[in-house]
Structure 1
Amino acid sequence: MAKSSPLSLILVAVGGAAVGFFAGQAIPLTSEEAPVEQTESAQQPAEPTADLDRLTLGERERGEITSASELNGKDGSRFIRYAMSLEHDGIVEISLSGALQGVVALYDDQLQLLDNADTVRHRIEESGDYVVVVSGIDAYSYGPFTVNSRIVELTDADTVVVGEPIDSWLQGSPRDISLIIEEAGLYQLEMRSDDFDAYLEVTGPNGYAREDDDSAGNLDARISDFLAPGEYTLTARSAYGDGSGVYTLSVEPHELSGYGELRNDGSLTPNDSLSGWYSGEPLTYQLAVEESSLVTIEMRSSDFDAYLELSGQGVAVSDDDSAGGTDALLEVRLLPGNYTVSARGFSTMGSGLFELSVDLEPTDIPPEL
């Protein structure tokens, strides 16, 4: 397993409603943006963070937007600027709380806009001073607000373990994470993010491949499937390939109360039933018939269109919907011998839980060959 190293996520909580207010906007060096006469001293550029109040990690900063706050000449809104020292490879998150209906933006020390939203998260490329701007959403937005800050640890691990979620950072490009499944079973894999539309791809043994966009709701990804033992690759990315931000990746055993143990292969027991999980590939079971019998095999699923096939001893039969709805049913007289039962979906696009039952009734009626 590869070693993981923590990445600092710096959280500056500040809560507001509007997003994107400062996009493409330069911060005025004076509130009136009035020209001044060039003097010898004026020719020396002032530090953008000079004379600004400072935000300190771990400490609250309260403020208020009033009519005396600096004026944005473009739309009449008011704003307050702060200086903040941030470390290389940290991830800063900025949001607002309080009565102010506001927006927050992050600039570097050259006043280049890095990000803006109601919640801003940005990876810091260089250590130094940055400018945080809190603004009303329009010319009528005034009121108090609070800026909070804290540090959260992220990981750059390239592995995930069942039962141990990881929080990490996506910077545009997809990330590959390794997963080892030691015991066959049903698992639920989730990728969640508040910053971008999560998209999860999984590849594994014997050509296994699944992907998902929004099955977990709220633009989060979820894959529930039966996984065989082996090594899998989870590819975490955004749905459109250009997202960045914090995400959580988790792999958990998926318990299905009332269904008992899932079986995706093996021998079928006469006059009994089992539950299995279909994920696009036919599942094969063995059936031993000891005496001539009328054999009834039923496959039911509320997740996909069930399809049954039986072969062996010169017999080859199949069924789609004879059990009603989209459930499958086979009734066939068989001679003693070994048979193969294939359980699958009518379409390879389906997946989900199914129940398979087998009943054998000895009979003297000649088999249908």
Structure 2
Amino acid sequence: MLSLLVGAAVGAGALVALNHYGLLVPLATTINGEARPAAHSVVTANQPLAGEINKSSYINVADGSRSQVFRFDAQEGQLLDIRSKGPLDARLSVLRDGYLMANSEQMGGFNLCESSGNSSLLKQTRLFYQADRTGSLEIAVSGTGPYAFGPFELEVQSVATTSPSTTTLTPGTPIEAIATGKTHSYDLTIAEPGLYAVALSSCDFDGYLRLTGAGVNLTDDDSGGNYYDPRILAWLEPGQYTVTASSSSGQPMRGQYSLKAEQQPLPSNAKFQRGGAIQAGQTLLSLVDHNSDSNFSFTLNQPTEVILTARSESVDVYLTLDNDEESWSDDDSGGGSRGTDAQIHEILPAGQYSVRLGGYGQGLVYLSLETRSR
């Protein structure tokens, strides 16, 4: 293992080195005065191995955490599902020739689908890694801090599926795939205009989605409902689109995920309209997302009392109304079941008015215009 510093003995007859990541690892042991290479415990595929982090474990002098290192003989192209579970609050690392190849901190570490997160008594950490050549790897199980101690069980599973079986995302047909550090892109063909939801879900990483094509450029990080999964809701016209799945914050995407695109049903009690003119006495159904706002307009021929209301069960909506001289805005005056509907109630002079409909979140919104002559 390549080292930055060769140190003195730690324990009787143990020659150690400080590797690139601050971990003290043994280079050799001395037996009867003869130096021999240090050996790590060998872990084999699909055979769990018990371990424990304690005060005698290798220490990372950079942060005080301690580690136990195992050797695994990998084949080129082999996809490894590496898991640690037990009382230890652990992180996993894969090293080759002293260099870090992957670690669980790059993919979130613990199971994102567990509501209790790392507060659970039985903690689980997972890391996917695909070997780029045949040879020995070092798998380090480390505590997440200087006071993380305890037993654990390490298991390395060899996974058959290494990449998506298709690069085409078909509406109504989910894709199940495993990512090993790279983004995945899919072709999406829309044959029928409508409201579509594109969603990614994973227990292994914090996902990120981008939808482009036919004049659309939308992104999302965590609108899927659990603070980690992305979901894009968009009105799509017939055409060719590209869906790109990745991990948020620029971290490598590692782990299992599901990706799907589905057309969403529309309520039949209002006309869907993304923007344009709205008439007095009319209620429209529109879409709000955090990538853009919807813009509408109306004209008053005389001074008029105007009540403009935006209601939604899924979006905290806001309204902005303006003419050439003045503007009005509102966030929560409309009440509603969640107290997040918007309403502007004003007596306005004759003229042309622009309405901007936006909100926090994404979803369908009812926009209504009521007028009363003065």
TM-score bin (small chain): 0.5 to 0.7
The whole-number CA distance in structure 1 between the counterparts of 2:293 and 2:88 is: 55
The residue number in structure 2 matching 1:8 is: none
Contact 1:183 1:229 in 2 (8 A): yes
Amino acid at match of 2:237: A
Contact 2:212 2:242 in 1 (8 A): yes
The residue number in structure 2 matching 1:353 is: 364
The residue number in structure 2 matching 1:25 is: 23
The residue number in structure 2 matching 1:63 is: 50
- Residue 186 of structure 1, CA deviation: 1.9
- RMSD (Å), alpha carbons: 5.2
Counterparts in 2 of 1:225 and 1:66: CA distance versus 1, 3 Å: closer
The residue number in structure 2 matching 1:147 is: 155
Residue 169 of structure 2 corresponds to residue 180 of structure 1: no
- Residue 146 of structure 1, CA deviation: 5.2
The whole-number CA distance in structure 1 between the counterparts of 2:178 and 2:368 is: 44
The whole-number CA distance in structure 2 between the counterparts of 1:149 and 1:188 is: 34
Pairwise mapping of residues 53-132 of structure 1 onto structure 2 (< 5 A)? 53-56=42-45, 59-65=46-52, 71-72=57-58, 80-108=68-96, 110-117=97-104, 118-132=125-139
- Residue 25 of structure 1, CA deviation: 2.0
The whole-number CA distance in structure 2 between the counterparts of 1:142 and 1:101 is: 8
Counterparts in 2 of 1:70 and 1:307: CA distance versus 1, 3 Å: closer
Q: Secondary structure at the match of 2:43?
A: strand
Amino acid at match of 1:222: R
Residue 241 of structure 2 corresponds to residue 232 of structure 1: yes
Counterparts in 2 of 1:66 and 1:267: CA distance versus 1, 3 Å: closer
Give the strand-richer structure, 1 or 2.
2
Contact 1:281 1:344 in 2 (8 A): no
The whole-number CA distance in structure 1 between the counterparts of 2:152 and 2:211 is: 47
Amino acid at match of 2:103: N
Amino acid at match of 1:60: Q
The whole-number CA distance in structure 1 between the counterparts of 2:260 and 2:207 is: 13
- Residue 182 of structure 1, CA deviation: 2.0
TM-score of the aligned structures, taking structure 1 as reference length: 0.60
- Residue 149 of structure 1, CA deviation: 2.6
- Residue 226 of structure 1, CA deviation: 1.9
Residue 247 of structure 2 corresponds to residue 243 of structure 1: no
Contact 1:156 1:168 in 2 (8 A): no
User: What per-residue deviation string (whole Å, max 9, x for no partner) do you get for residues 113-156 of structure 1?
Assistant: 32333432323211333233345666883436353635263416
Q: Secondary structure at the match of 2:84?
A: coil
User: What per-residue deviation string (whole Å, max 9, x for no partner) do you get for residues 280-314 of structure 1?
Assistant: 475789xxxxxxxx9x99663345344689xxxxx
User: Which stretch of structure 1 is more off in the superposition, 211-220 or 137-146?
Assistant: 137-146
Contact 1:185 1:262 in 2 (8 A): no
Amino acid at match of 2:26: P
Amino acid at match of 1:234: V
- Unaligned residue ranges in structure 2 (runs of 5+): 1-18, 105-124, 298-303, 335-341
TM-score of the aligned structures, taking structure 2 as reference length: 0.59
- Residue 97 of structure 1, CA deviation: 1.9
**Count of aligned pairs:** 311
Percentage identity across aligned positions? 22
The residue number in structure 2 matching 1:198 is: 207
- Residue 171 of structure 1, CA deviation: 3.1
Counterparts in 2 of 1:245 and 1:327: CA distance versus 1, 3 Å: same
Residue 229 of structure 2 corresponds to residue 220 of structure 1: yes
Contact 1:304 1:345 in 2 (8 A): no
Contact 1:190 1:221 in 2 (8 A): yes
Contact 1:263 1:275 in 2 (8 A): yes
